[in-house]
């Protein structure tokens, strides 16, 4: 198979850098415009960039209306809840009806162009209706992960200042009902900003008392408004489509702000060149709408491409570890998007859960969210017999920075690498202290992007341009480049390898160690299923590395003697492969690691608990018992 940097790919990528206007003008033809643009990119005020200036466009039209006109009966949204045993399939025509009804509700509630709507919802169709309805009428949606704690939700309410909040009585996770309404009511009570309306979807999971004069009944409004026609509001290309808050420590939330036109073009291009999605097929992303993957590749991306998007409410192991593969078989999924953590979870279960299903429709499995370790990549590749494509990107970019664009040229994956820079991204590895560009293979540097950022990336931090510049563009001496805050290296073939966060660097007596390097080493021990390594403050050395490992068989550390023996084996392995300087002070064994629902390890939370600090804004935590285990261990 050809390298991803063969002549075809090299020419495609190079043209995106040498002739960005011509390149992106071609990509812009993948979507509909009510008014064509006058200028491809206005980068006259760096680091800010405006894409497709003068054009007028609507995300909802491109995701729903144009397909409803051409293929009204094709499936658009498939919802399956293994939590409550329900499912619904909406054609493009039916989806358009539901979105227009929701749009009518928003307008009746006083929402207009540019107004914010906060969406605090479980993984149900109405959440997608609300997002698309906002896009339809030109409102700015801000989706907050369902189940966020009240204080964190209040912080986001105060920052977004929504006219309306759309929510539901409850979500369900692992068969456990999570009531949302009490959390929402408390958040509104303590928030400074008071939304005028709350639109409530009652699933019948958790009884609640509506607030008179504020709370609206979705079912009653839908019965009255279904069939109402609400035209799309054509917006300037650089109008705001949404804000999405990145999780972090205590402090003012950081709202990633995205545009309309650049985002539409970026997603359409990615569906063609990266994911090879085709109209009439089915795309299955196992993420949540509260995360950027859910925005880009549950709601907008697949629909813009004319695909059916499969939305699943449930876990990968209930009712059993075959549920995802049953869905792939039943709905003839062609492209699937998940997380390495999910693959590691499934790896612990009988492979027959996968093998018993007909997966012939599936072309490719994409994984993102955490670095994909080689053992997991090999396991899932062997089990599926399909290409496994890693991809690296961020909430801030909205679509992949590094991956393989197999829609452009054949490409062979390298285990452990997400791939090569995507079109439009001017990637540079820099020495963070000097700003020097690192050009030799296998040099470790800070992964940066030279401006302007390509279409679809963040415009700024919501209502805080200065924070955008300070946070992302001011970290390297003498250079104004976007920092990903990730260490990386590039091998001799041009493939990149992510080594961990630059702000996850562990400084042991002056030696700078990437947590990811130590994690990879420990994960190579045959007894270890997962591991997280953090730097913990130490009076003598500045920091020491501490590891928390999940074992494939917990019996391996069932007694203090067995745990001590296994810890010694792991430490000796680190000594042998990385050297004594990288040896963690301790390897502690836990049954699970603190993660978000999307599978992202919360290393900063682990570090805070180890240092007896407040872990901060960690309402994205999937299972609180994970953090409690660590508290119990460190005392």
DSSP string, 88-110: EEEEHHHHHHHHHHHHHHHHHTT
User: Per-residue pLDDT averaged across 246-253, rounded?
Assistant: 56
d(C-alpha 623, C-alpha 593), whole Å = 9
N-to-C CA span, the chain: 53
Write out pLDDT tens, residues 416-460: 899 999 999 999 999 988 999 999 999 999 999 999 999 999 999
Residues 75 and 91 sit within 8 Å (Cβ to Cβ): yes
User: Per-residue pLDDT averaged across 502-515, rounded?
Assistant: 70
Residues 570 and 522 sit within 8 Å (Cβ to Cβ): yes
d(C-alpha 289, C-alpha 474), whole Å = 31
DSSP-derived secondary structure for 322-340: THHHHHHHHTTEEEEEE-H
User: Per-residue pLDDT averaged across 189-214, rounded?
Assistant: 97
Global pTM reads 0.86
- pLDDT over threshold 90, residue 367: yes
Going by C-beta distance under 8 Å and a sequence separation of 6 or more, which residues neighbour residue 96? 64, 65, 68
Element (H, E) at 587: strand 586-590
- pLDDT over threshold 60, residue 304: yes
Going by C-beta distance under 8 Å and a sequence separation of 6 or more, which residues neighbour residue 568? none
195 CB burial (10 A radius; 0-12, 13-18, 19+):
buried
**3 state SS for 507-538:** EECCEEEEHHHHHHHHHCCCCEEEEEEEEEEE
Positions of E strands within 339-480: 364-367, 388-390, 402-403, 420-421, 426-430, 445-450, 460-461
- pLDDT over threshold 50, residue 1: no
Identify the band that residue 249 occupies on the pLDDT scale cut at 50, 70 and 90.
very low
Q: Peptide bond preceding 388: is omega within 30 degrees of 0, i.e. cis?
A: no
Identify the band that residue 79 occupies on the pLDDT scale cut at 50, 70 and 90.
very high
User: Per-residue pLDDT averaged across 159-184, rounded?
Assistant: 95
Identify the band that residue 511 occupies on the pLDDT scale cut at 50, 70 and 90.
low
d(C-alpha 294, C-alpha 308), whole Å = 14
Residue 482 has phi, psi (to 5 degrees) of -75, 125
User: Per-residue pLDDT averaged across 50-57, rounded?
Assistant: 98
d(C-alpha 142, C-alpha 195), whole Å = 13
User: Per-residue pLDDT averaged across 365-384, rounded?
Assistant: 88
Q: Pick the residue with more confidence: 387 or 615?
A: 387
Positions of E strands within 272-379: 282-285, 308-313, 333-338, 364-367
User: Per-residue pLDDT averaged across 250-258, rounded?
Assistant: 79
**pLDDT score, position 619:** 53
> In the numeric block, which tokens belong to residue 565?
């023996």
> In the numeric block, which tokens belong to residue 391?
């991809």
- pLDDT over threshold 70, residue 3: no
> In the numeric block, which tokens belong to residue 81?
């809840």
Residues 187 and 157 sit within 8 Å (Cβ to Cβ): yes
- pLDDT over threshold 50, residue 561: yes
**pLDDT score, position 2:** 46
Q: Which of 339-343, 378-382, 402-406, 618-622 has the lowest mean pLDDT?
A: 618-622
**pLDDT score, position 54:** 98
Average pLDDT, the chain: 92
**pLDDT score, position 582:** 83
**pLDDT score, position 595:** 86
**pLDDT score, position 580:** 78
478 CB burial (10 A radius; 0-12, 13-18, 19+):
exposed
d(C-alpha 391, C-alpha 482), whole Å = 19
**pLDDT score, position 248:** 42
Q: Mark residue 573 as left, alpha or beta (left: phi above 0; alpha: psi -120 to 50; beta: remaining).
A: alpha
- pLDDT over threshold 70, residue 4: no
Write out pLDDT tens, residues 80-120: 999 999 999 999 999 999 999 999 999 999 999 999 999 99
Identify the band that residue 512 occupies on the pLDDT scale cut at 50, 70 and 90.
low
Residues 561 and 601 sit within 8 Å (Cβ to Cβ): no
d(C-alpha 391, C-alpha 406), whole Å = 12
**pLDDT score, position 179:** 95
Q: Which of 365-369, 495-499, 581-585 has the lowest mean pLDDT?
A: 581-585
Pick the CATH number of 509-634 from 3.30.300.30, 3.40.190.10, 3.40.50.300, 1.20.1050.10: 3.30.300.30
**pLDDT score, position 514:** 73
Proportion of the chain above pLDDT 90, given as a percent: 78
- pLDDT over threshold 60, residue 405: yes
- pLDDT over threshold 90, residue 510: no
User: Per-residue pLDDT averaged across 604-629, rounded?
Assistant: 81
Look at strands 116-120 and 75-81 and give their pairing: unpaired
d(C-alpha 424, C-alpha 13), whole Å = 7
User: Per-residue pLDDT averaged across 614-629, rounded?
Assistant: 75
Residue 209 has phi, psi (to 5 degrees) of -105, 115
Element (H, E) at 631: helix 624-634
* CA-based torsion, 20, 26, 30, 32: positive or negative: positive
**pLDDT score, position 188:** 97
CA 364 to chain centre: 18
**pLDDT score, position 508:** 75
**pLDDT score, position 247:** 54
Identify the band that residue 390 occupies on the pLDDT scale cut at 50, 70 and 90.
very high
> In the numeric block, which tokens belong to residue 318?
């209930």
**pLDDT score, position 250:** 34
- pLDDT over threshold 90, residue 372: no
CA 355 to chain centre: 28
Look at strands 48-53 and 505-508 and give their pairing: unpaired
User: Per-residue pLDDT averaged across 399-408, rounded?
Assistant: 96
* CA-based torsion, 485, 491, 492, 494: positive or negative: negative
């Amino acid at each position: 198979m050809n390298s991803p940097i063969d002549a075809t790919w090299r020419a495609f990528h190079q043209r995106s850098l040498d002739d960005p206007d011509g390149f992106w003008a071609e990509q812009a033809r993948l979507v509909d415009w009510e008014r064509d643009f006058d200028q491809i990119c206005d980068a006259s005020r760096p680091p800010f960039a405006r894409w497709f200036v003068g054009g007028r466009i609507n995300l909802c039209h491109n995701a729903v209306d144009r397909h409803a006109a051409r293929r009204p009966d094709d499936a658009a949204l498939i919802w399956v809840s293994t939590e409550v045993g329900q499912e619904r399939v909406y054609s493009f025509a039916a989806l358009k009806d539901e979105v227009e009804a929701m749009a009518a509700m928003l307008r009746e509630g006083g929402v207009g162009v540019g107004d914010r709507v906060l969406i605090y919802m479980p993984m149900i169709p109405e959440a997608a209706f609300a997002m698309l309805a906002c896009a339809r009428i030109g409102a700015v949606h801000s989706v907050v992960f369902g189940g966020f704690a009240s204080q964190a939700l209040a912080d986001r309410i105060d920052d977004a200042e929504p006219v309306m909040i759309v929510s539901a009585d409850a979500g369900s996770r692992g068969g456990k009902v999570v009531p949302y309404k009490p959390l929402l009511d408390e958040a509104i009570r303590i928030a400074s900003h008071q939304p005028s309306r709350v639109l409530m979807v009652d699933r019948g999971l958790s009884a609640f008392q509506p607030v008179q004069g504020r709370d609206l009944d979705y079912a009653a409004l839908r019965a009255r408004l279904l069939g109402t026609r609400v035209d799309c509001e054509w917006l300037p290309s650089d109008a705001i489509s949404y804000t999405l808050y990145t999780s972090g420590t205590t402090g003012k939330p950081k709202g990633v702000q995205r545009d309309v036109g650049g985002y539409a073009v970026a997603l359409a291009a990615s569906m063609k060149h990266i994911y090879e999605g085709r109209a009439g097929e089915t795309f299955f992303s196992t993420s949540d709408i509260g995360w950027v993957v859910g925005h880009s590749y549950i709601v907008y991306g697949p629909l813009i491409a004319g695909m059916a998007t499969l939305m699943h409410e449930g876990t990968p192991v209930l009712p059993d570890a075959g549920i995802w593969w049953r869905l792939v078989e039943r709905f003839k999924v062609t492209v699937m998007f998940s997380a390495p953590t999910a693959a590691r979870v499934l790896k612990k279960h009988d492979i027959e859960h996968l093998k018993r299903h007909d997966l012939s429709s599936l072309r490719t499995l994409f994984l993102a969210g955490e670095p994909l370790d080689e053992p997991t990549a090999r396991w899932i590749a062997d089990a599926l017999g399909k290409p496994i494509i890693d991809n690296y990107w961020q909430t801030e970019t909205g679509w992949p920075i590094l991956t393989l664009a197999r829609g452009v040229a054949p490409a062979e994956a390298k285990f452990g690498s997400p791939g090569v820079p995507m079109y439009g991204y001017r990637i540079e590895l820099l020495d963070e202290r000097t700003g020097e560009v690192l050009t030799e293979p296998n040099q470790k540097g800070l992964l940066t992007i030279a401006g302007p950022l390509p279409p679809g990336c963040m415009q700024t931090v919501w209502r805080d341009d200065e924070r955008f510049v300070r946070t992302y563009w001011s970290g390297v001496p003498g250079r104004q480049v976007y920092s990903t805050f990730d260490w990386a290296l590039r091998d001799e073939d041009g493939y990149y390898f992510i080594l961990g966060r630059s702000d996850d660097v562990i400084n042991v007596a002056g030696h700078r160690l990437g947590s990811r390097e130590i994690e990879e080493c420990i994960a190579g021990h045959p007894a270890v299923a997962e591991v997280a390594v953090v730097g913990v403050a130490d009076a003598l050395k500045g920091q020491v590395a501490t590891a928390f490992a999940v074992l494939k068989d917990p019996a391996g550390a069932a007694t203090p003697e067995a745990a001590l023996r296994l810890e010694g084996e792991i430490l000796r392995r680190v000594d042998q492969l990385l050297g004594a300087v990288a040896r963690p002070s301790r390897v502690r064994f836990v049954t699970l690691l603190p993660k978000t629902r999307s599978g992202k390890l919360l290393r900063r939370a682990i570090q805070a608990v180890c240092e007896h600090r407040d872990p901060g804004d960690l309402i994205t935590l999937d299972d609180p018992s994970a953090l409690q285990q660590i508290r119990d261990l460190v005392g």
